Chains A and B, each alone.
Chain A
Amino acid sequence: MPTLKIDGKEITVEKGTTIIRAAEQLGVEIPHYCYHPGLSIAGNCRMCLVEVEKMPKPQIACHIQCLDGMVVHTQTKSVQKLREHILEFLLVNHPLDCPVCDQAGECRLQDYYMKHGLYDSRLNENKVKKSAKAVPIGPTIMLDSERCILCSRCVRFTDEISKTGEFGIFNRGDHSEIGIYPGRELDNKYSGNVADICPVGALTDRDFRFKCRVWYLAKTESICPGCARGCNITVEANLERPHHANGERIMRLKPRFNGEVNDWWMCDAGRYGYKFIDHDRLLEPLIRNQGTVQTTGWNDIVEEVIKSLKGVLKKSKDELAVLVSPEMTNEELYLAKKLFVKELGLERVLLLRTKADGDQDDLLIRSDKHPNRKGAEWIGFEESKRAIQEVIDQGLKGGLKGLILFGQDLAALYPGRNVEDLLQRLDVSVFVGSNHNLTSEHVQFILPAATYAEKNGTFTNFQGRVQRIREAIPPAGQSKAESEILTLFADHLKLDWSYENEEQIFDSLRRSVPQFQGMNYSKIGREGVPVE
C-alpha cells in the first residue's frame, strides 16, 4: 500500500493504482482524453502529463503507478503550460465548427480549452483534410474524422468490450484517421457506447444528432427497463423546447456507471428502446361499448370498472383473473397483491410476461426482457405457463367473466389463439397500460398508465439488486402510474390506504416482504442495494 503526495495532499492507495486514480480519490481532477477507466491504457493523448519528483520528464498520470514516497504535482506552471500546448496540438487540425457541431456543450475540447487553454491561435496553416465528413459508419453512429483527436477509445471499446473489432486507425502521422475495416460496418449490440466515450464530436449518435442542444436536456437518474440486468441510466429529456423533435420529450438515454451492474455501458436495444414513451400512447381513460369508444374521467371509469367487477365477483371469484407483469415496479406489484389478493380475495392473480424471451450474452444483455421479475417473485408472483394456459382455455370456453391485464398484449403473446374472441366473451375486460396494442383495441376499459420514465419506484434486477427509477417527465396525457391507479381503486372501494407516494408504499412493502427488509429509498440511493 504505497503512500504518496499529490499536490501536497497525502494518500495511501492499493498497490498498482495509477496516479490519475489516486488523484481522483483525492478529488484532484487531471484532464484527459484517451484514458477511460473501463478500457486499457493507451497513453496517447498526453493531456494527463504531470510532474513526478525525481523523474526526469513529465509522466502520464493514466499509466504511471503510484509508488511509496512519490511526490506528484498536477498544478505547477510547467504542467499548466504543457496542458495548454497539448491542447494547441490537438486543435491544430480540429475544425472550429462548434456552432454546428452536435457535441458542443459536452465536448472535452471545448471544456478543456476554457479551463486549460485560453491561448490565442497561432495557426497560419491549412488544416489536414480528412476523408470522412459526416459519414454513417453503421446504423447508429456518424463519423466526422476531422473532429477526431485519435484517442482510440472507440478502437479499444470494440476490441475489448464489445469484442467486435470494427474500428481501426488508418494511415500515419497527422493523416491518421479512425475508421471501420473495409467491408464492415459498426453494427454490434453495443455500438451506441462509442458515441458516449468519444470525448469530441467525431462519433455522434445518429438517433440524437441535431434533435436538441445538450444544454436544454433535463437529466434524471433511472434504470433501463429493457431486460433483467437493470442497467443504470440517465434519462435525458427536453422539456424546455417542446417544438423540437416533433414534440418528443425523451431525447436519449445514457448509461450511468454502476460497477456492480453495467459498468459504463448499455446495449443498443436499451439505449434506443425509449421511443414508446412518446409514441402510440394511451392518453385518456376509455370505455368501449358495442363498438363505440368513449373518453371519460378517472373517477367515472374506476366506478364503472368496480361496478362490473362486483357483478362478476358476486357469482364466483374463480371467474375473474388479474394478470400482473414483471414490468411493474415492486411498489405496484405490492399494491396489486394487496388489492386483488388480500382485499378482494381473488385466487387468480397471476404473473404474465409482456415480452417474449430474447437474446443473451456475457456482457450485459439478459434473455428475460423484463426489469422486475425477481421483485415479482419476492412479492409472491411466479410465472406459470400452465396457470395462464388454463385462464385462456377457460376464457375461450366461456368460463371466464372478467380479466384485468397490466400491459400484456395477449393477442401478440398468443398469436395462435383467438384472443379477440376471448375478450369478446368477457363481461368485463380491463387493460392497464401505456401504449396501444392489439389487445387494447378489444378491451372494454382502458386505463392509461405511465411509463417508467414518468413515475417513481423500484425494480429488482436478476442479481437481486433493488434500484430506483425516477420520474423524468410528467405522465403523458391523463395517464397515471399503476400505483396511483391501484390506490384510486382502493379509494373507491373505501379501503383505508394512506399512501401519498411510492416511498411510503415501499416502506410498507419492506415490512411485509422479507427480502426488502432493512432497505429504504435513501439507502437504495443512486446505485441500488443488493439483497442481503
Chain B
Amino acid sequence: MEKLISRFFKIPNATSLPVYLAEGGYEAAKLALRNRKPEEIEGEVKRSHLRGLGGAGFSCGVKWSFVPRDTGKPIYLVVNADEGEPGTFKDKYILTYVPHLLIEGMIIASYAVGIHKAFIYIRGEYEMPYLKLKEAVGEAYQKGFLGENIFGTKFDLDIVIHRGAGAYICGEETGLLESLEGKKGFPRLKPPFPAVVGLFGCPTVINNVETLSYLPFIVQRGSEWFAKLGTERNGGMRLFSVSGHVKRPGIYELPMGILLRSIIYEHAGGISEDRKLKAVVPGGLSAAVLTADEIDVKMDFDSLKAVGSMGGSGGVIVMDETTSMVDALRVTMQFFAHESCGQCSPCREGTGWIDRILKRIVAGKGRADDVDHLLDIGKYLGGTTICALADGAQMTFLSYLKKFRKEFEDFIRNSSLRANAGWSSGGRPLGLPAPDGRSGTVSEAISGIASAGRLKAPSSQ
C-alpha cells in the first residue's frame, strides 16, 4: 500500500531541504499560495474528512471554520508537538525525519486561515527532533519559504519554536497555550474556545503535527482521493505507533479503517514469542483497553468510539498473556496521578487516591471491597473537570476494572490468603502464568514510550 508521510522515513536524509525538494517537497504549498484561494483550501480540507490526529479527532476543516476573521486581532497557528500520550511516538518521527513536511503543512494551513505567525510547541524531551526541526526552519527561511513574500507571493509567515518543559498537561491545547504564554500549564475553562480566544487572547488554530503534515497531500491530490482512503467521515490514513508485546514494534501508516487485528498480526508481526494476546490499548494510554476478543474493530475514530474506546493519538499498546492487568493499571494510574495538573478537585484528588489504592493492592494489602470502591470512585473521576485528562483516566481505569474484574479480585484474594499464611507479599498474583523470566511487562511497554526519545531505525514498511 502506498505510504504518504512515512514514505519519507525511508528516504535517506529527507530531513534536509535539497532531498525534500527533490522528492517534490513544497510543491503543494506553492500550488496553494499561487493557484488557490484560502477558502478553497478550507473547503477542500473539510471535504477530505481529515480529523485531528493529536487525539481529539475533531474535523480539521471545521475547526478552522470556527476562527473569526474580522476581529482586528492577529490569528495564530499553534502546532501541538508536545507528543506526550504514552504509547505515541509518531510526531517524533515526522519532526526527526521529515520536518519540512510539517513546515509545508503549516504554510498551507496559515494561508487558508489568514495566519502570519505560527508557533511550534515541542515537547521538551524531544532534543533530536527539536534540533532537526530548528535546522529545517532555518533552511526554509534561507530559501524564502518562510518570512516575507513566500514563493514570491504576498504571503508572509513567521515560525517560532518553543520547547516545553515536560508536563503531559501542556499537550492539552489550552494548557499548551498557557504554557506558551509563560504561565503554568493549567487548562482553561471553555468556552471561549481557542479558535475565538486563544494565544494571547487572539483567535488561534491549534493543530497536531501529523494533522498538518497531511495537508500537502490533500492540496495536491484532492479531498476526494484522501477521503476515500479512510472510512466514512474519517478521511485518509494515520500513523499508528505500535508498542508492547509485538514482534515488530514501530510506526505503521495505515488507512483509518484498518482492523486492529490486522495491525497487530499482519503489520506488527503478531505477539512476541507467539504468546497469546491479552489486551490492547488502541489509542494511547487514555483510551479504554480492549480485550483479545475485541480486536476486530476498525481503527477509525467513530468505530472505536462505538466500542467504548477511542482512536486518540493512535498509540497501540499490545499486552500479552503474561501481563498482570493489576500491575498495568497501577502503572497507568500512576502516570495520570503524576501528570494531573492539580486544578480540578476530582482529578487532582481522584487520580492520586486511586494510585495509592492500586499501589496498596499491588503491595499485597488489597481489601475485599477495593474493587467496588474503585469502581465507585471512578464514576466521579471523569465528566466533571475542566479538561479531558480525567475523562481519559476514567475511561481507561474503568475499562481495566470492568473487563478484568476477576483478575483484580483474584489478585486481592490471593494476596490476602498469602498474607494470612504469613508469606511475604509480592507484586505478582498467584494463579497467573509465570512471568516467563520477564518482569514488569507492561511497565516496560509504557516506560518504553518514555524512552521513545531514543530513536530506533524506523520499522515501518
By a beta-carbon cutoff of 8 Å, the part of chain A in contact with chain B is 41-47, 49, 57-58, 63, 82, 85-86, 89-90, 92-93, 122-126, 128, 149-150, 168-169, 171-176
- B338 interface residue per 8 A CB criterion: yes
Which residues of the partner chain A approach B360 to less than 8 Å between Cβ atoms?
Answer: 124-125
Of all chain B residues, the one with the shortest Cβ separation from A87 is B345
B397 nearest CB across to chain A (Å): 15
B167 nearest CB across to chain A (Å): 7
Contact with A along B348-365 (1 / 0, CB 8 A): 111111001100100000
- B346 interface residue per 8 A CB criterion: yes
Q: List 26 A-B contacts (CB under 8 A).
A: A42-B343, A43-B344, A46-B345, A46-B384, A47-B345, A57-B384, A58-B384, A85-B379, A86-B346, A86-B384, A89-B345, A89-B346, A89-B353, A92-B349, A92-B352, A93-B352, A122-B373, A168-B184, A169-B342, A172-B339, A173-B342, A173-B348, A173-B352, A174-B348, A174-B353, A176-B342
Which residues of the partner chain B approach A86 to less than 8 Å between Cβ atoms?
Answer: 345-346, 380, 384
Q: Are A46 and B352 in contact (CB under 8 A)?
A: no
A150 nearest CB across to chain B (Å): 6
Once bound together, how far apart are the Cα atoms of A18 and B125, in whole Å? 41
B126 nearest CB across to chain A (Å): 20
A169 touches which one: B184, B353, B384 (CB < 8 A)?
A: B184
Contact A149/B345 with A85-B380, A89-B353, A174-B337 known, Cβ cut-off 8 Å = yes
B273 nearest CB across to chain A (Å): 37
Contact A125/B384 with A174-B340, A174-B349 known, Cβ cut-off 8 Å = no
A87 nearest CB across to chain B (Å): 9
Which residues of the partner chain B approach A176 to less than 8 Å between Cβ atoms?
Answer: 342, 348
- B189 interface residue per 8 A CB criterion: yes
Of all chain A residues, the one with the shortest Cβ separation from B184 is A169
Once bound together, how far apart are the Cα atoms of A171 and B338, in whole Å? 10
Which residues of the partner chain A approach B233 to less than 8 Å between Cβ atoms?
Answer: none
Which residues of the partner chain A approach B350 to less than 8 Å between Cβ atoms?
Answer: 89, 92
Once bound together, how far apart are the Cα atoms of A168 and B342, in whole Å? 13
- B341 interface residue per 8 A CB criterion: yes
Of all chain B residues, the one with the shortest Cβ separation from A90 is B345
A-B contact sample (9 more), CB < 8 A, given A150-B342, A173-B339: A44-B344, A58-B383, A82-B384, A85-B379, A89-B350, A90-B349, A125-B356, A174-B348, A175-B342
Q: Are B184 and A57 in contact (CB under 8 A)?
A: no
Which residues of the partner chain A approach B340 to less than 8 Å between Cβ atoms?
Answer: 172-174
Once bound together, how far apart are the Cα atoms of A414 and B351, in whole Å? 66
Once bound together, how far apart are the Cα atoms of A122 and B339, in whole Å? 24
Once bound together, how far apart are the Cα atoms of A173 and B346, in whole Å? 10
Q: Are A93 and B349 in contact (CB under 8 A)?
A: yes
Once bound together, how far apart are the Cα atoms of A172 and B184, in whole Å? 10
- B425 interface residue per 8 A CB criterion: no
Q: Are A89 and B184 in contact (CB under 8 A)?
A: no
| Chain B, 73-100, CB within 8 A of any chain A CB | none
Once bound together, how far apart are the Cα atoms of A162 and B357, in whole Å? 42
Q: Are A173 and B383 in contact (CB under 8 A)?
A: no
Q: Are B342 and A89 in contact (CB under 8 A)?
A: no
B167 touches which one: A89, A125, A126, A172 (CB < 8 A)?
A: A172
Which residues of the partner chain A approach B352 to less than 8 Å between Cβ atoms?
Answer: 92-93, 128, 173-174
Once bound together, how far apart are the Cα atoms of A327 and B106, in whole Å? 68
Which residues of the partner chain A approach B353 to less than 8 Å between Cβ atoms?
Answer: 89, 92, 123, 125, 174
Once bound together, how far apart are the Cα atoms of A86 and B383, in whole Å? 12
A172 touches which one: B342, B379, B383, B386 (CB < 8 A)?
A: B342
Once bound together, how far apart are the Cα atoms of A372 and B348, in whole Å? 50
Once bound together, how far apart are the Cα atoms of A122 and B350, in whole Å? 13
Of all chain B residues, the one with the shortest Cβ separation from A41 is B189
- B261 interface residue per 8 A CB criterion: no
Which residues of the partner chain A approach B373 to less than 8 Å between Cβ atoms?
Answer: 122
B164 nearest CB across to chain A (Å): 14
B82 nearest CB across to chain A (Å): 15
Q: Are B383 and A57 in contact (CB under 8 A)?
A: yes
Which residues of the partner chain A approach B343 to less than 8 Å between Cβ atoms?
Answer: 42, 44, 150
Which residues of the partner chain B approach A57 to less than 8 Å between Cβ atoms?
Answer: 383-384
Of all chain B residues, the one with the shortest Cβ separation from A151 is B345
Once bound together, how far apart are the Cα atoms of A280 and B360, in whole Å? 61
Residue count of chain B within 8 Å CB distance of chain A:
32
Which residues of the partner chain B approach A169 to less than 8 Å between Cβ atoms?
Answer: 184, 342
Q: Are B345 and A45 in contact (CB under 8 A)?
A: yes
Contact A46/B349 with A86-B380, A124-B357, A125-B360 known, Cβ cut-off 8 Å = no
Which residues of the partner chain B approach A171 to less than 8 Å between Cβ atoms?
Answer: 342
| Chain B, 289-346, CB within 8 A of any chain A CB | 337-346
- B414 interface residue per 8 A CB criterion: no
Of all chain A residues, the one with the shortest Cβ separation from B386 is A43
Of all chain A residues, the one with the shortest Cβ separation from B189 is A43
Which residues of the partner chain B approach A58 to less than 8 Å between Cβ atoms?
Answer: 383-384
- B367 interface residue per 8 A CB criterion: yes
A88 nearest CB across to chain B (Å): 8
Q: Are A49 and B384 in contact (CB under 8 A)?
A: yes
State the 9 A-B residue pairs at the shortest beta-carbon distance, nearest first: A174-B352, A176-B342, A89-B349, A85-B380, A173-B340, A125-B356, A92-B349, A44-B343, A43-B189
Of all chain B residues, the one with the shortest Cβ separation from A126 is B356
Which residues of the partner chain A approach B339 to less than 8 Å between Cβ atoms?
Answer: 172-173
Which residues of the partner chain A approach B379 to less than 8 Å between Cβ atoms?
Answer: 85
- B385 interface residue per 8 A CB criterion: yes
Which residues of the partner chain B approach A125 to less than 8 Å between Cβ atoms?
Answer: 353, 356-357, 360
Contact with A along B199-231 (1 / 0, CB 8 A): 000000000000000000000000000000000
A69 nearest CB across to chain B (Å): 18
Once bound together, how far apart are the Cα atoms of A444 and B379, in whole Å? 78
A64 nearest CB across to chain B (Å): 9
Contact with A along B364-405 (1 / 0, CB 8 A): 000100000100010110011110000000000000000000
Which residues of the partner chain A approach B383 to less than 8 Å between Cβ atoms?
Answer: 57-58
Once bound together, how far apart are the Cα atoms of A89 and B337, in whole Å? 13
Once bound together, how far apart are the Cα atoms of A47 and B169, in whole Å? 22
Which residues of the partner chain B approach A47 to less than 8 Å between Cβ atoms?
Answer: 345
Contact A150/B348 with A46-B385, A124-B360, A125-B356 known, Cβ cut-off 8 Å = yes
Once bound together, how far apart are the Cα atoms of A123 and B167, in whole Å? 29
A34 nearest CB across to chain B (Å): 9
Of all chain B residues, the one with the shortest Cβ separation from A91 is B349
B433 nearest CB across to chain A (Å): 30
Of all chain A residues, the one with the shortest Cβ separation from B359 is A125
A173 touches which one: B337, B377, B380, B385 (CB < 8 A)?
A: B337
B346 touches which one: A43, A46, A128, A175 (CB < 8 A)?
A: A46
Q: Are B342 and A174 in contact (CB under 8 A)?
A: yes
Once bound together, how far apart are the Cα atoms of A420 and B356, in whole Å? 74
Once bound together, how far apart are the Cα atoms of A126 and B337, in whole Å? 15
Q: Are A63 and B189 in contact (CB under 8 A)?
A: yes
Once bound together, how far apart are the Cα atoms of A43 and B192, in whole Å? 13
Which residues of the partner chain A approach B341 to less than 8 Å between Cβ atoms?
Answer: 172-173
Q: Are B338 and A173 in contact (CB under 8 A)?
A: yes
Contact A44/B349 with A58-B384, A86-B384, A173-B340 known, Cβ cut-off 8 Å = no
Of all chain B residues, the one with the shortest Cβ separation from A175 is B342
Most A CB within 10 A of own CB, among B184, B189, B340, B349: B349
Once bound together, how far apart are the Cα atoms of A174 and B367, in whole Å? 23
Which residues of the partner chain A approach B338 to less than 8 Å between Cβ atoms?
Answer: 172-173
Which residues of the partner chain B approach A44 to less than 8 Å between Cβ atoms?
Answer: 343-345, 386
Q: Are B380 and A89 in contact (CB under 8 A)?
A: yes
Most A CB within 10 A of own CB, among B342, B351, B360, B380: B342
A475 nearest CB across to chain B (Å): 48
B385 nearest CB across to chain A (Å): 7
Q: Are A82 and B348 in contact (CB under 8 A)?
A: no
B392 nearest CB across to chain A (Å): 14
Once bound together, how far apart are the Cα atoms of A42 and B373, in whole Å? 30
Once bound together, how far apart are the Cα atoms of A63 and B190, in whole Å? 9
Which residues of the partner chain A approach B351 to less than 8 Å between Cβ atoms?
Answer: 173-174
Once bound together, how far apart are the Cα atoms of A233 and B357, in whole Å? 47
Most A CB within 10 A of own CB, among B169, B346, B350: B346
A181 nearest CB across to chain B (Å): 12
Once bound together, how far apart are the Cα atoms of A169 and B343, in whole Å? 9
